[in-house]
Structure formats: C-alpha cells, structure tokens
Chain A
Amino acid sequence: MNNANIFSQSGILILLFLVAIPVVAAAIILIIKARAFTIRYLKRKEQEKFYMGLKNMSPEEVQQLEQRKKELEFSLSNNELSGNTMPSDTRGLVNNINHKEDLRFISSKKKGQQRPSIDPHLSKLILWFLGCSVFWLLLGTSVGEYLGIKFTAPDIDHFSWLSFGRLRPVHTNMVFWGWASLAMVGLCYYVVPRVSNVPINSIKKGYYTLYLMNASVIIGSIFLMAGINNGGGEYREYIWPVMGLFGLGIIISLINFLRTIAKRATKEIYVSNWYIIAAMMFLLTIAFVAYWPSWQNGLGETIVQGYYMHQGVGMWFMLLNLGLMYYFLPQQLNKPIYSYSLGILAFWTQILFYTLIGTHHFIFSAIPWWLQTVAIVGSAGMVIPVVAGTTNFLMTFNGSWKKLSTSYTLPFYLIGIIFYFVGSLQGTAEAFRFTNLIWHFTDFTVAHSHLTMYGIISFMLWAFFYTIVPRLTGKEPPHITVGAHFWLALIGLLFYTIPLMIGSTMRGLMWLDGKPFIDTVSFMAPFWLWRAIGGTLMWLSHILFAYNFYVMVKSREEFPIPTTPSEILKAKQALA
C-alpha cells in the first residue's frame, strides 16, 4: 500500500535524517576499513620488495652498512661524569613517558594494568559471554531505535512481525536477557573465582549457561515476533518454556559459583560474592513464582506481575551489578572499598525494602489498598540502601578524583554511580500517590527505565568491559573511540530522557485537567522526536563500543619492515 502522501513533509525529512545518520556512519566505517586494507596490502608488497633487494646485496654494501652501523652506534660511555654506577630502571618504574614534541589532540589516558594471568580457557569463555552480549546490545537497541522512529512515522512499515506491539517486547527482553544478563554472568566468571582465590569449578558448565541463555533470547524473540507471548506482563513476555531455558542456564552457573566459593582459599566471603549469589538465587525465585504454569487467575496475575517486574530489575540487574561494582571499583582505583559495613547494610536493606515495592506499578488500581501502601512505604525505604551504596562508592572515589582525567574507564564508573543515585531516587519519587497520579501511564516510566537500565546498568557494564577485556587480551581500545562512545551514550541518554520527562509531565497534567485525549497525543510529538534523536546517538555509541570490543579482542597480522642498520643486519642474518 502506498501511503507516502500521508507523511507531512517535515516528517519525511526528519525520518530521512534519522536514517541517514547510521547510514553515513556505516559508510565512513566502510571507507576507513577499505583504506586500512589497501594500506596493509601495499605494506606487504613493499616488504616483499625489500627482501628481494636484501638477497642481492653485494659484500661491499654489507661492509658499508657494518661501517655505518658502527658509526651510528658510537656513543660516549655515559659515565664520563657519573663514574661507573649506571642509572637503571631495573623495576620498570618509569613508564608512560610523554614526549614533549608530540602534538596531542586527544589527551592520552593510562593503559590498563597488567594483572596476574587468567587461565586462557576461562578467559575465552568470558570473552564469549561478553561478545554475545555486545551482539544483543547492537541488535536490541537497533530494534529500540526503530520503535522510537515509529512514534514519529507510524506507517513506516506494515509487516505484522515488525508491528509496534510485537517489537516492543523484543527490544526490552533482548536488552534485558541478552545484553545485560549475558554480560553480567560473563563478568561473574571473572569475579567469583578471583575473590575466592581459587580456579573456577568448571569451565565447561559455563558454556552450557552461555548456550542456554542465548537460545532463550533467540527463540523468545522469534516467538514474540510471530505473536506467541505469555499474555502481556512486561518483561514476562517470553512463554515459560523459553524462560525455562534461561533459568536452567542460571541454575547451572549458580551451582558452579557455589562450588567455587565452597572451595575458596580466603576465610571470609568477599561482599561481591554476597551480591552475585543472592542475585542469582533471587532471579530463580522470581522466575519460579511468576512462571509456575498453574495459577494467577484474575488479579492474582497483576499482583505477581508487579512483584516480578520490579524484582527482576532490582534483585537481578541492580543487585548483581552492585556486586560487580564492589569488586571493580576498588580494583580500578587501586584502593580498598571505603566501608565494608556500609556494603553489608545496603545488602540487607535492599532485600528488606526492595522486595516490598512491586505493586507500586498498580497504584490506584483494583488490587488491595494495603498492598499499594506497603509498596509505597518500601519505595521510601529504598532511600537507605541507595544512599548507603552511593556514599560508599563516592567515598571510595574520594582522594582519587585526579585519576578521572587520566583514565578512560573511570568516567563510566562515575556516571554509573551518579545515575544509581538519581535513577533510584526518581523511582522512589514516582511511587508516591500524587506524583503517580501525573506520571503513571505516561512515557515518564519509559524515561525512568532508560535512566536506570541504561544510565546505571549499561554504564556500569561498560566500565567493567573496558576494565577487564584489556586484561584478558592484552589489547587496549583506541582512546578516541572510547571517549566518543562515552559522550555519545551520555548525551544521547540525556536527549532521550529529559524531553520525555518534561513532555510526559505536561501530558499527565493535561489528563488531570480533562483535556481531550487525542490532543495529548499530538502534544507529545516533538518530545517523541527528541527521544528518537537521543536514541540515535545512543545507538551510534553502541557501534563504537562494538568496534572497541572488536579491537580489544581481535588479533592482528603485522608487517614490520626493518629500518635501522642493526635491524636490517639482523634480518639479513635471519635470512641466511
């Protein structure tokens, strides 16, 4: 069907602009790639030519080179003034020397630290987890980007498999169970054995988890697009056999981690492992309660849904990421966590209050009023773990602020921590009855979930990625693309959330005022456009992130060409 005429002119232009950005970016990347390929080809040719010449070198030429080498290598003995005591750097303390004559457009950041070597097999498993998660991030946010465009151009396609209602859960579930979850479990495989000071119990079991989690996301996404879903509860759209695969994967890794911890060489259990094990146990509990296939008639479904969706984000994503944070932040700052006790306080209060807050998604609905009140009280109680956690992290940072400018990972940590505070407290604010009146049912919820799942979880995960992948592979990402990833993601997130929050607040007020509903739809149009623009920036940042990951993981062929006399002689020797 040809509906081109129904787009207003500006709508088409905006859409084209949005689509053009990724296309142009892709073209640029393609050109860069082609150029690199050509250069490598020419270098290889040049190298071949050089070696041809080397074979036919006459003895006179060799003698000349010997002579020149001697001349060039002449130097004073360097002890004319100091005597025979040689200065030396036997412990390798002088590093990272800056040469003044370099013109620096990008301030250089510190290299990642070399760490005690990890079992290469484990390291491969971790990289597989992380690599898969990067793939799901790219695909999942591409779907999200497309959904954002659909708010501005609803007639962009008319395929049932790509219609808004079917794609929306594909996006949310893919970034939840694909991107964030796979990345988290992969990082756990690094942290759990490390803080227990023993090797991981079984690497093979890790692969089972990897396969099962990936299978769940693949099958789940296809089912959702085909119209097979669980009946509409958010993040519970996969039917139970599909989510069962995911749960099975988590069970296998949970047992694997528990066995590792049981064998630990340390007496105490480091707090990271508290959070990690708890998160995995809780996720299984939540999934079991919510998916058990023989109950939840009538409003039972809604009560369980409120519990499930909020425990999913708070007890799985948040709790596990906090656990990782308690390991990685002190590591990266090279100092211990500010207060172990605050970490423990946050742990228990999070369990106590967070478990209660689920039904705050259904305030003023037909579910029992007392349950709604409990949820509101629990939401207010969440201030305690959030403030405890934030204080702990910021106090750990304190005294190391100067490191921020010389590190490419610490900005991600800091932004993650800031959003942890802002996003969590925003959630508390949303739960109160009056604010709920305005914000509930509007896109404010969407802004909030991006502020938290993206601002907190994704930023923290990126921080952890840039911390450990160089340690596993020994390769650093280009600082310029890490910086670009950071800024695009951050600015994109702000462009996404702030207009959406402003617009939805005003929309809520219009509803309160009894304005016609359709007027509040057209009112949101500019805010939805801003959301699409912010979303595009975020999406671009993921392409850069994927590129950085590729650079960190990929091994490259090199074409060294000898230039100094000693190198040339060495090459000649090797040839003979």
Chain B
Amino acid sequence: MAKRSMRSVIVASTLASIVICGDAFAQSGRDYVYIVGSSTVYPFATVVAERFGRGSDFKTPKVESTGSGGGLKLFCDGIGVDYPDIANASRAIKQSELAMCASNGVAEVIEVKIGYDGIVVANAIAGREISLSRQDIFLALAKEVPGGADGDLIENPYQTWQDVNSSLPAQRIEVLGPPPTSGTRDAFVELAMEGGCKTIPWIAALKNEDGDKYKAVCHTIREDGKFIEAGENDNLIVQKLEANPSAFGIFGFSFLDQNAEKVKGAAIDGTVPTFDAIADGSYPVSRPLYFYVKKAHVDVIPGLRGFLREFTSERAWGEEGYLSDRGLIPMPTVERKAVANAVSQLTPLAVAEK
C-alpha cells in the first residue's frame, strides 16, 4: 500500500512539473501593460493603473518598483513582450541610457512628464521650527566643507546646527535620509546640496575648471554618523522622527502630506514646503517626475494607449485630479496640455547624434 502511494506521488509530481513547464512556454503574447521603475513614481503609477484596470475592459497593468536606474535598464534591454512597455523615472533619462536603448533596438521613446514632487527636510511636530538655506544644508551634510582660504577643503567639523549658521539652534546635527540607490537621494543631492554648494563662489567657479572635483565636493555626503542612511522605507523615517524630536528626515512631499500630524517640513530658503509653493516653483527642492514609453509597443500591447490616455487625463493629473490627492504636484495647465498633446501624437524623444 505504502509502495503504491509513494509511486503515485512521484508520478503525479513529475507530471505536474511537465504540465507547469508546458504552460509557461506556451505563453506568447502579453495582454497587460508592464511598467517598471522609480519607487517615487510607483504610488502614482499604481493608482492610475488600478483606476484604468477597473474602469476599462483591459487587465490592470503590472507595476514593478525597481528604482529609476534599474527600471530604465530593464526598459532599454529590448523590444517585445518580454520587456517593459513603460519605465517610470524620478529624473530625466540620460543620453547614455537613450543610446543604450537605441543600440538594443528601442529606437523611439516617448517622454511623458507627469508633474512635480518636492523633497522635504522635516522633523517631529514636537521639534523646533527651523528655517534653512540650501547653503546651511550643504555645510551641515557635506563630507568636506570650505576651510579658511578659497580652495581649502577641510573634513566637516560642524557638530551642531549653530556651528553651521549662528542663527540656528544649538542642536546636534542628526539627519535621516535615503540610501544612495534611491532617486530621492540623487535629487536631494543635486537640488539641495549642490544648490547650496554653488552659493560659495570659488566652488561655483570650480565647475568649469574641474568638473569632477566640483561634483565630488558638492555631491559627497558626510559619513561620520551625522547623516544616517535610514533605508528606502519613508514610513520608518517618519516613525524615527517622532521618537527623536531633535532629528531631521529627508523624504518626498507625499509622506509629509500624509503624516502632517506627526512631522512638519522645514522652510528652505524661506519657503515652507506646501502644495502651492511646490506647484508654483518657489520651493527650491522640487523635481519633475517622468515616465517613458516605447512607441513600438503602443498599438501592440492591449491597453497601453488607453493607459496613456488615462494618465494624461485631467481627472488623473489635473489640479483637482486623483493624483493630486496622493501628493503629486500638477504641472501648469499649458504644460499639461502640451505634454498630453505630444503623448497623443506619440512624439518620440530625439536621440543625440554621436
């Protein structure tokens, strides 16, 4: 009896594996839109995907959160059902990435700018209200800061915010932020750190003389424990800020928006991060968000054109659209019209000549 039952177990499981493999290899086409890319755009792309899936006869698109760089790499690997149709990015695509796309046969890529996201420096409600300049941020967080004479760099000696700028409180510098793999970190370094770095004349002059050094000075964050890499999970940063009112955290505006009773955003260059300040461009640390579409996939993958139309519709990305409820800062009306128009015409990005 035992013998027979065991034999049947083995036969059944072998059969099952064969059937399973056959099933996989029989699959050819793909009947859903496949999206990869930035974890910052993920919350917006998923909302659109869900609404599109429920409101239409098409399947709900699949959205993978891979980070901007990883997403664009997958996207540029080739044309066909095995490769993503759309890559989300929290920065513009680089010329090198476009060239890689082109060399893999992804010739025509349509760029869709969807709106803006602000990056905030926030602390707990119980913490002090603080107003920073971008220069303060650079001096507090850079690995090396200018010393006495022009051209001198010293290891960052600042321990408290007051050391950085005498008008700031004598509170230990303690900043929780995302790791280098994150697009938020890239954008923060580029907009806040470099923005502050440039205000020092001799470093700004360095940009033309020695670009690599300029980048190294402006983009390198200190590693002596004052800046703490808190992982990609922004909820965790919010929790840590609540527990430690003297710490600051760096994350996207949508998390500030959702957690307004726990954390507050510091004013940067005199502007408090609010929806309106980011929308009209007066808040300095904000960045555009994009997604990229393969033109060759548009009428091949079912639902792709409909998804594009949904994303670029007023009810999604408009001033009162459902994406703005999620913290996406809409573009001005004229710009929205122009982008929506370019999308419906499927105007591809120009690839620079080598």
Asked if chains A and B come from one complex, the reply is no
